[in-house]
């Protein structure tokens, strides 16, 4: 009887990089879109400060949000340096793949 190798329990796959593109016409900056379907979390836990706020300067590699998918917490990092100018979703809101989450200028 053959058995298939499986990943160790508790192992998490790396979260895909957030989709980032130029903001819609009339705006400047880069729109960060959800790389996966799930629930958006602005902070690491209830009562903790959010990862980013409007007006905050961030650097490439900073965690900017968590998206929970199937009980896995995926930390999403910024691919660019800049200042957060808009956040379109609220903490705990369900998000779809490719949905705009925030703008970084």
Domain boundaries, the chain: 26-104
- 3-class SS string, 10-57: CCCCCCCCCEEEECCCCCCCEEEECCCCEEEECECCCCCCECCCCCCE
DSSP 8-state code for residue 8 = P
Specify which residues 43 forms β-bridges with. 50
DSSP 8-state code for residue 50 = B
Q: Look at residue 28 in the predicted model and tell me its pLDDT.
A: 83
What's the pLDDT tens digit per position in 20-69?
454 444 468 999 999 999 999 999 999 999 999 999 999 999 999 999 99
C-alpha closest to that of 17 among 88, 105, 80: 80
What's the pLDDT tens digit per position in 63-88?
999 999 999 999 999 999 999 999 99
| Fold held by 26-104 | OB fold (Dihydrolipoamide Acetyltransferase, E2P) (2.40.50)
């Amino acid at each position: 009887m053959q058995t298939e190798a499986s990943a160790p329990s508790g192992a998490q796959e790396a979260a895909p990089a957030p989709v980032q593109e130029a903001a819609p016409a009339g705006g400047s900056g880069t729109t960060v879109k959800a790389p996966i379907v799930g629930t958006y979390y602005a902070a690491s836990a209830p009562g903790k400060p959010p990862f980013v706020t409007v007006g905050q300067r961030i650097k490439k590699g900073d965690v900017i949000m968590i998206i929970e998918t199937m009980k896995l917490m995926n930390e999403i990092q910024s691919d660019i340096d800049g200042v957060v100018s808009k956040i379109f979703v609220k903490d705990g809101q369900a998000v779809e793949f490719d949905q705009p989450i925030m703008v970084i200028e």
